[in-house]
Structure 1
Amino acid sequence: MRSMFIAALLLSTPAAAQDLTPAETAKIDAVVGEALAKSGVPSASIAVVRGGRVVLAKAYGKASEAIPVARPDLPYQIASISKQFTAAAILLLEDQGKLRLDDKVAKYVPGVTGGDTITIRQLLDHTSGLQDYWPQDYSFAAMAKPTTPQGIVDRWAKKPLDFAPGTQYQYSNTAYVVAGLIVEKVSGEPLIAFLQKRIFTPLGMTSVIDQDKAIGARFPQGYKRFALGPVRVETPAADGWLYAAGELSMTATDLARWNIARMNRATLSADDWTAQETTTKLNDGSDTGYGLGVSVGQFDGRRMVEHSGESVGFLSENMVFPDQKTSVTVLTNSWFSNAYRVMAQGIARTVLPPAAATGTEAIFAIKARKVFDQLRAGTLDRALLTTDANYYFDATAQADYKSSLSALGEPTAFAPVGQPRLRGGYVARAYRVTYGDRALSISTFAEPGDAGRFEQFLVAPIQ
């Protein structure tokens, strides 16, 4: 019986290297289409990697007033996703023996407050204490005029530190501007030129361009929205404002090529990739969840290397699942909605196999599927439920569950979502049931222990 239910949990899970099925592609279209329609975001360009190769590159909506139909070959501004490339440049220079991550900033860039105590590593992991020059989610007045990296350093990196280096985490675009200047000083060439030679060209990333130059009739246009008002064209920032903190524009496909290099430990050394993905611990031992230009954590129980990006009129999300050789990239031309995250997460849940449950979680995944199937069939085993749950499932509830769920047919997937957590003396767990182009959520509470009974088992549609 146990093996039968494990097989049921994995039913119709695509092999990691498979192309997308028609149903998966249709689901992605639905996820993106619904998010764009609900949010008013003009367009999205996406790329999906599975099995270590690009299996989908597609664009939706309107790229600009001059490009009414978005195309996957258009470079979108990726903003802060660029930070991992700046960090990679530093790592490559360390490989050449030209600097060390633990060198002090003052060795390369004079005049930075605390430069004799801040290390290059602390610039990259956001523990330098340098104040962020652009915390706002709008374009502030100074951004209407051009600037230079040194101009940003002079105005923000010479202020008093917000904290002693290594004692706190604070996201700092300023720190990355300083890091970019170090790359240029040590390499003797512009940052983008260095990246082009060492990363973009070797990986076949042909679309990459400085976002300051990715403006005009041939490029996607950024959009804004005030509260719930009309969607309006956004005015780009003047030149120079993002630099090493987020200056790159590229296609979703080219960013996917970089994701594949990460999965395969290619172009950079394996040690460099590991260094980038190793999260920083503060002086008090607490973990920041951030490495060198990337966040590292979990998504639905899977290890994820991630970064988002925001520039004037653009939002983006890049999620990499190295263990599954899968990534999801979503680039949008608006900065007034979380649609980019909704799309990325929805696509990830479509293309990833269900996370494998172990131990107690495997037992409860099996029990949850068992109760779900019993509700579909109208054969509920009340020994699996507590007194309160048995009270909830009266004749009317059972009849409604049976009639509504049985009408959907056989589910194509049943998987745990998120992590278990304590609630009111019970263990709360959630599951997702998929039927082709629609899905249901299951919210459960159960008594602690492998033999625990369900106190709650609620099924609801996912909107």
Structure 2
Amino acid sequence: MPWSRSALAAALLVATPAAAQQLTADEAARVDTIVADALKSSGAPSASVAIVRDGKIVFAKAYGDQGPGMKATSPAAKYQIASISKQFTAAAILLLEDEGKLGLDDKVSKWVPDITGADRISVRQLLSHTAGIQDYWPQDYDFAAMQKPVTPQQILDRWAKKPLDFEPGSAWQYSNTGYVVAGLIIEKASGMKLLDYLQKKIFKPLGIDAMDQDYAVGKGFPQGNHRFALGPVRAARPAAHGWLWAAGELAMSASDLAKWDIARIDRKILSPEDWATQETAIKLTNGTDTHYGLGVSVGNRAGDRTVEHGGEAVGFLSDNFVMPEKRFAVVALVNADFGGAQDAITGGITDLLHPLPPPVPVISTDLYRDQLARKLFDQLRTGTLDRSQLTEDASYYFTAQATGDYYTSLFALGDPVSFTPRGKPRLRGGFVNRNYDIVYADGRKLIAITYAEPDFHGKFEQFLIQPRD
């Protein structure tokens, strides 16, 4: 449904007591600006944000219009987190492996034998999107079949019995279908319903209030929203039951998702070894790095390891970004499946609280060599020649007499007013020839004729100074 400026302005004041106070007043105000700008530019009606700093939730706040099902905008509202759920499905597999009930390298045929390639696909490949099973929902919209309820087996019958898109392990391709297979394996290995197992092993121990996203609709829940091109924001009709299941089955608040991030940071619930396994990028059979572990994307930000995943449900987008060693995380949930506000929010807050160092200027080879030539010229005219910049032949040329003559004849001229490249570099005899015009205030002109080894840090083979008309 459309949102109004007045609703947004009022909702900016909704926050959990005390949590936001652990940010400075300036930081909190800038977070408000980041979120407000993201909502305005994208048209998303609302956002719910949680920030973890030093391993603790220090900020939890909701913004905007969460829809007619909500009495007031609340940071406790449960948004559909969609594919962020995959890391919980993967965690369940890891826990079951610890219980001795399955192995990551078990073949799928042990549990779900009636799909294509079951005897060649491992459980690990399901979780890392390297199994080759065709994705049943590549679209960024809900297709016609999603208006009717579906079972996991029906999904597999339609998509997982097709020929594989590639040989297992040889390529990476996001596959919701692979996670449906993984969900069935969890239920068979544990003897429990998927959500019941997650509640017992993860959510209750962490105090997370999570639920099946199929039921997170209507009164008491945010309204999902669509937008067609730049048209008005419109309420989205939820998909029928069963379509996301183990590939994206959960709804929870931003703070509850942040509790899971804290468990990741503290290495709780899962063993440190299991966390490391989930966060280790899988490599293909040809050695290519997929930058994806088991249910999470893994990367690097200015030297800091990152663990991230986004989610897309009908009418909802989400992003969960963690820097474990920094003990930092940020969650952004929005009730719109367009616009990318969730990424703008997590990116903006990360840049605010962990600013990137200034970029190192990239200098071209020619500019670098020009700077080295000027430096060597100044050394010659001041009698401070650094022979480490010279080849053996050039060092032989600069005898005591030569360096003395360079010094006495050039020092008296003072600093030149310009030292500029003359023409373009050219190859000769395995060296790069670069020449320079040298001009003094009194009009005197010299030329430097240089040869140097061709690599970036190559030594000078020649550095001659001559008068120029």
TM-score (norm 2): 0.72
1:265 equivalent to 2:270? Answer no
Say if 2:343 is the partner of 1:341.
Answer: yes
How far apart are the structure 2 equivalents of 1:300 and 1:77? Answer: 31
Find the aligned partners of 1:332 and 1:45 in 2 and give their Cα distance. Answer: 7
2:295 equivalent in structure 1: 293
The alpha-carbon deviation at position 302 of structure 1 amounts to: 2.5
Residues 386 and 122 (structure 1), Cα distance of their counterparts in 2 relative to 1, 3 Å cut: farther
Aligned to 2:401: none
The match for 1:138 is 141
- What displacement does 1:66 show? 3.1
Give the gaps of 5 or more residues in structure 2: 1-20, 362-415, 422-455, 458-469
Please state how far the C-alpha of 1:339 moved relative to its aligned partner: 1.3
Select 2:326's aligned residue among 324, 327, 336: 324
Deviation at 1:225, TM superposition (A): 0.4
CA distance in 2, matches of 1:279, 1:355: 25
Counterpart Cα distance in 2 of 1:239 and 1:386: 74
Report the Cα distance in structure 2 between the residues aligned to 1:238 and 1:386, rounded to whole angstroms. Answer: 73
| Count of aligned pairs | 350
SS in 2 for 1:32: helix
Check the 8 A contact 2:217/2:223 in 1, yes or no. Answer: yes
CA contact 2:62–2:74 (8 Å) conserved in 1: yes
Can you list the C-alpha shifts for 1:291-314, whole angstroms capped at 9, x where unaligned? Answer: 000000023442110000001000
Match of 2:245 among 243, 246, 262: 243
User: 1:326 Cα deviation (Å)?
Assistant: 0.2
Rounded Cα–Cα distance in structure 1 between residues aligned with 2:28 and 2:72: 19
Change in 2 beyond 3 A, CA 1:28/1:111: same
The 8 Å contact of residues 20 and 351 in structure 1, kept in 2 or not, is answered as no
Displacement of 1:355 in angstroms is 4.9
Question: Shift in Å at residue 48 of structure 1?
Answer: 0.1
1:202 to 190, 202, 205: 205
Q: Indicate conservation of the 8 Å contact 2:95/2:270, yes or no.
A: yes
Distance 1:106 1:59, change over 3 A: same
Is the 1:44–1:330 Cα contact (8 Å) retained in structure 2?
yes
CA offset digits 1:365-391 (Å, max 9, x no partner): xxxxxxxxxxxxxxxxxx9x9979xxx
The alignment partner of 2:22 has SS state of coil
Q: Which residue of 1 aligns with 2:175?
A: 172
**Distance in structure 2 (CA, Å) of the matches to 1:311 and 1:32:** 21
User: Structure 1 residue aligned with 2:218, among 216, 219, 222?
Assistant: 216
Distance 1:355 1:271 in 2: 31
Q: How far is the alpha carbon of 1:110 from its aligned partner?
A: 2.2
Residues 286 and 68 of structure 1, relative CA distance in 2, 3 Å threshold:
same
Query: Which of 35, 39, 52 in structure 2 is aligned with 1:36?
Result: 39
SS of 1:93's partner is helix
Higher-Rg structure is: 2
Give the secondary structure class of the aligned counterpart of 1:257: helix
Identity, in percent, stands at 59
Counterpart in the other structure of 2:442 = none
Scaled by the length of structure 1, what TM-score is found? 0.73
Cα distance in 2 for residues equivalent to 1:146 and 1:231:
26
Aligned equivalents of 2:355, 2:141: Cα separation in 1: 38
* SS at structure 2 position matched to 1:202: helix
Instruction: Please give the root-mean-square deviation of Cα atoms over the aligned residues, in Å.
Output: 2.2
Q: Which has the higher contact order (CA 8 A, sep 6+)?
A: 1
Alpha-carbon distance in structure 2 between the residues aligned to 1:338 and 1:142:
26
| Alignment check: 8 A CA contact 1:45 1:70 kept | no
Alpha-carbon distance in structure 1 between the residues aligned to 2:227 and 2:303: 35
CA distance in structure 2 between the aligned counterparts of 1:386 and 1:117, rounded to whole angstroms? 67
Q: How does 1:32-431 map to 2 (within 5 A)?
A: 32-67=35-70, 69-205=72-208, 207-352=209-354, 354-355=356-357
1:386 and 1:233 mapped to 2: Cα distance?
A: 67
Three-state SS of the structure 2 residue aligned to 1:201 is helix
CA–CA separation in structure 2 for the residues paired with 1:355 and 1:294: 26
